[in-house]
A and B are shown apart, each in its own frame.
Chain A
Amino acid sequence: MSIKTAAVTGNEAASYALRQINPDVVAAYPITPQTELVQSFSEYVADGLVDTELITVESEHSAMSACVGAAAAGGRVMTATSANGLALMFEILFIAASNKLPIVMPVVNRALSGPINIHCDHGDTMAARDAGWIQIYSENAQEVYDNLIQAIRIAENMKVRLPVMVMFDGFIISHGIERVDYLDDATVRNFIGTYQPNHPLLDIDKPLTFGPLDLYDYYFEHKRQQAEDIKNSKPIILDVAREFKEISAREYGLFESYHLDDAETAIVVLSSAAGTAKAVVDELRDRGRKVGLLKPRVFRPFPYIEIAQALSHLKAIAILDRSVSFGSFGGPLFTEIRSAMVEFKKIPENFNIIFGLGGRDINEQDITGIYNQLDEVVKSGKVKERVQYLGVRD
């Protein structure tokens, strides 16, 4: 095993992972901020560095449709997209999951139109959270690379067989240059193994019908099975993480805790903002404040008991959402976690902060302000405003 250290963008790290995974078919369509990923992978194809057949489709709807056809045919299939592209795939996301097709898709998070905006928020993948895909959020380029490799193993596990989205923040991670430690090709290929087809369409001796009409006498049972399958992926995700640690020395779980055990207050936040928050935690800890952080990694299946348990000892928490769920009580992360906490007798004081829509920056001062607000809540025992919008002009 050898490690190659590189300074690359998140998109390049993702594309490098795709090269090592060497899918049989990739069908993709460009969209900012994912474009560079597809371009870079096209170069690997043009240079003959992969066995992949690349389908340069005429839309994302066709990208996901072709992925469904290719995965049903019986091979390893990937695509990638962002925002409007994901929205255009929407109908077929559900079909991919219900057919139990292990498609793996990096999604570079970008704000959904309208108005049109190319910068980061999580509105795109949050809107797709009930499509039946496993969803894994990444903090930085290293996690993008690591999560993609693990995603193949998770998706293709015979007990799971579900599609997986691996998310990372548009521009902040997709275009920012960071250090990434790459595993060597042989290690990755050995880790992911060869693709095991499951009832492939191309098996002409055992003809199967995919996508039948399924009415009130069976549809419900099939949906019930699907709910069970995604729930059961949780231990598999952890098994894969354990095995991945053996080849990478990097640790992954359903979520990451940062100085949480002895903390009195904490922030919960996904993706790149967690990196900024960690720096703030370090700084405040230096000044003797008992602050911590929880960064969910797996959003679907949502590790509700595990996260609620990990937060249960705290006095107050702020849950940050980089997306808005119009007309609901709070952001998606907030409503999930608040409802999970009901399982425990003592619920920490809590509030929701919606931030960063359309690429609005969140900085260390903003995060320090949130920790200060948490202290006030602990002192007064009162939450002034349950759902807040950070840094937005009135």
Chain B
Amino acid sequence: MAKLKDLVNKPEILSPGHRLCAGCGASIAVRQILSASDDPVVVACATGCLEVATTIYPYTSWRSPFIHNAFENVAATISGVETMYQSLKKQGKIDKEIKFIAFGGDGGTYDIGLQSLSGALERGHNFVYVCYDNEAYMNTGIQRSSATPRGAWTTTTPVGEVIPGKTQYRKDLTRIIAAHNIPYAAQASIWRWSDLIDKAHKAFYTKGPAFLNVLSPCHRGWRFPLEDTIKISKLAVQTNFWPLYEVENGKYKLNYKPKERLPITEWMKPQGRYKHLLTPENESIVEEIQQEIDNNWERLLVLSGEK
């Protein structure tokens, strides 16, 4: 397990002074994950909040080599970088041990970049892919993605007279990735930092592709006070909205079981994006969402041999 004392002494790759919002979940996720490699890393990033806020020319927040190509192709891009590394290594032109990591938002991963990611996973490149999932297109102003949960307000699923926010459930990306039968896939939270860092370490030191899906609260898009990022992350796990689990060589393992599952309204209440749901007229929608969460949890218990 990662020790806080060791971690604070590690040099930071994402340096302070970047222009992500104060309290942004994404930067916390990135720092925790990058602290888990004992070797130098090359970072690739899809277009999105993380990329635009850390690379405003002529400045950069990245102390490691960094490449941004476009929105939908970070997996293909890192696969090119990693393949060049393998080629030069085989030819004896490079000998250093280097790790390769790609970051994409939920838009860049669940939606527009899914093909690129699926291809890179199937080809078996030796890299870590991290989806920092803030459940919408934040960089362009909070539009819905296929990771936006049912019922949530976004600027393209506004709460209108007849439609109360997003009508569809979110895509279960972690299971889709696990179905690629890659050696390691996990879901994690910045609240359980030591679980996340352990998972990141495993991901870095797995041979072949590894995937982490990290819920990364965005107070701008989710409408909560910026100091509550970790509190919100915790509620996501304790309501079973965002279960922590890993799939290692096909074997599911649950990493955290709340002593008592909190009702989904506890997750919704502090977030302005759900405000309209917590009214008597929309009670049935909340009930359906609760049912969906409970069903997913039951299935996860079975998959991970807990039931």
What is the interface of chain A, defined by CB distance below 8 A to chain B?
Answer: 24-25, 27, 51-53, 55-59, 61-63, 65-75, 77, 91-92, 95, 201-204, 207-215, 218
Contacts and interface: CB of A to CB of B under 8 A. Distances in A.
Contacts of A74: 84, 88
Given A59-B119, A212-B55, A73 B64 contact: no
B250 to A, nearest CB: 23
Interface string B49-67: 0011001111010111111
Interface of B: 40, 42, 44, 51-52, 55-58, 60, 62-70, 72-73, 75-88, 90-91, 94, 96, 98, 115-116, 118-120, 122-123
Given A59-B115, A73-B81, A212-B60, A66 B76 contact: yes
Contact of B68 (A57, A63, A92, A210): A210
Nearest to A94: B70
Given A65-B77, A70-B83, 10 more contacts: A53-B86, A58-B122, A65-B76, A69-B83, A71-B84, A73-B84, A92-B73, A204-B96, A208-B65, A211-B55
The 5 A-B residue pairs whose C-beta atoms are closest, nearest first, are A69-B80, A58-B119, A66-B80, A73-B84, A65-B73
Contact of A218 (B52, B58, B66, B73): B58
B88 A202 contact: yes
A35 to B, nearest CB: 19
B68 to A, nearest CB: 4
Contacts of A53: 83-84, 86-87, 90
Contacts of B57: 212-215, 218
Contacts of A72: 67, 80-81
16 contacts: A57-B76, A59-B116, A63-B76, A65-B116, A68-B69, A69-B44, A69-B69, A72-B80, A77-B84, A95-B69, A201-B81, A202-B84, A202-B94, A202-B98, A212-B57, A213-B55
A56 B123 contact: yes
B60 A66 contact: no
B105 to A, nearest CB: 15
Contacts of B79: 55, 57, 62, 66, 69
Contact of A24 (B51, B58, B88): B88
Given A212-B57, A213-B56, A215-B57, A68 B63 contact: no
Given A51-B91, A95-B70, A207 B63 contact: yes
A202 B83 CA distance: 11
A208 B66 contact: yes
Contacts of B51: 213
Given A56-B123, A57-B119, A215-B56, A70 B69 contact: no
Contacts of A202: 42, 65, 81, 84-85, 88, 94, 98
